[in-house]
Amino acid sequence: MSVTDVVVTGLGATTPLGGDVASTWDAMLAGRSGVTPLTAEWAEQLTVRIAGQLAVDPSEVIDRVRMRKLDRSEAIALIAAKQAWADSGLEGSGLDPERLAVSFGSGIGGAVTLLNQDDILEASGPRRVSPHTVPMLMPNGPAAWIGIDLQARAGVHSMASACATGSEALSLALDIIRSGRADVVVAGGTEAVIHPLPLAGFASMRAMSTRNDEPEKASRPWDKGRDGFVMGEGSGALVLERYDHAVARGARIYARLAGAGITSDGFDIVQPDPDCKGGIRAMTKAIQDAGLTGADIAHVNAHATSTPAGDMGEIKGIRAAVGDHPVITSTKSMSGHLLGAAGALESIATILAIRDSVVPPTINLDDPDDRLDLDVAAHKARPLEIAAAMNNSFGFGGHNVALVFTRV
């Protein structure tokens, strides 16, 4: 390890599987689904009536007065970030705020606030619109609130790269620390857009599963019966820290963020390149950045969203960039697709897979696609010694991010 290496010293999450990292990880290892029916009256008119809804509502964690000032995506970002901060042991450590940065994004941002306030405007007029509307709908809101809460003064950065957002936030954090601009970065992603308009929009694209009668079986990456992704909500946060800084304070280190690769397809606004050319380049760059070869990667947490087109293209990409040896999985089979938060949550799962020497399962893989020629940890968690693992995130617009984590 070099003194300039970047390590993970704190984890936080609130997801459809649990209100924190421990409960979420336990659910993943047990192969439990967090996808449930939508019971709101507005859902009755939709063709998609299922989602990965939060296991713990943020109003149970944040007081009512503060919740009125926060979009749901901001609230859960704060919850995850505060968990990660507490987990890192940095609270009360005397860290110089000018050496602390935030890198946190959302794929869609405060859309629910925007839509709800528009309803109020139409029904009751402009005087009834909340004075908190703009800070609640700002896409940089989650990052800004985290920066204010932690008094981070080395920079607060926000990105919006669709479903690659959370991973791109981690990649930027890696660059910030490597360049010497900060010693510690709180990084991750958040999303909370379970609302009729986003659901109807995705459904109109035929991108989402309509398996409403069996919600727990709807997300089924690589299965012949897959019919689209399942929207989820949640947030994942990681504390990244310069290695020598972490060692000097006696921090518990989960893993090393060893490398990152970012590319773009230049292909289509929603369709992935069927040959995964951009994904292959991202994976290759991440492996090279980590100073490794494909043979070193024992496990891949795949982007695999349970769509007919995307899943198999990624299989081609993993085989080309990494090889046919890694054990792969898609934890979206359990959590649903957290959009801008997906990369952060799945990075946490990748890190814990390294720590615990186990690959979480891909559930619902009952009838594998005939083209699936890689080893998937199907149905049950798989014990596996993992020195290095990769997490993939791809997003609408052709965003590709691959991250490589290693044991310390």
Indicate which residues carry an active-site annotation: 163
Angle CA 84–85–91, to nearest 5 = 155
Half-sphere exposure of 406 (CA within 13 A, CB side): 16
* 235 close to 341: Cβ distance less than 8 angstroms: yes
* 402 close to 261: Cβ distance less than 8 angstroms: yes
Q: How far apart are CA 108 and CA 111, in angstroms?
A: 7
Q: How far is CA 21 from CA 10, 223, 335, 345, 370, in A?
A: 10, 28, 13, 9, 35
Q: How far apart are CA 238 and CA 189, in angstroms?
A: 9
* 227 close to 63: Cβ distance less than 8 angstroms: no
Q: How many CB atoms lie within 10 A of CB 27?
A: 21
3-state DSSP assignment of residue 170: helix
Q: At what angle do helices 310-321 and 277-289 cross, to 10 degrees?
A: 40
* 230 close to 342: Cβ distance less than 8 angstroms: no
Burial class (CB in 10 A: 0-12, 13-18, 19+), 120: middle
Give the list of residues 6+ apart from residue 333 with CB closer than 8 angstroms, or none. 33, 219, 220, 221, 306, 361, 362, 363, 364, 365
* 60 close to 78: Cβ distance less than 8 angstroms: no
Give the list of residues 6+ apart from residue 330 with CB closer than 8 angstroms, or none. 221, 222, 301, 302, 303, 304, 305, 306, 362
Length of the chain: 408
3-state DSSP assignment of residue 346: helix
3-state DSSP assignment of residue 39: coil
Q: Dihedral through CA 282, CA 273, CA 393, CA 350, nearest 10?
A: -80
Q: How far apart are CA 260 and CA 173, in angstroms?
A: 10
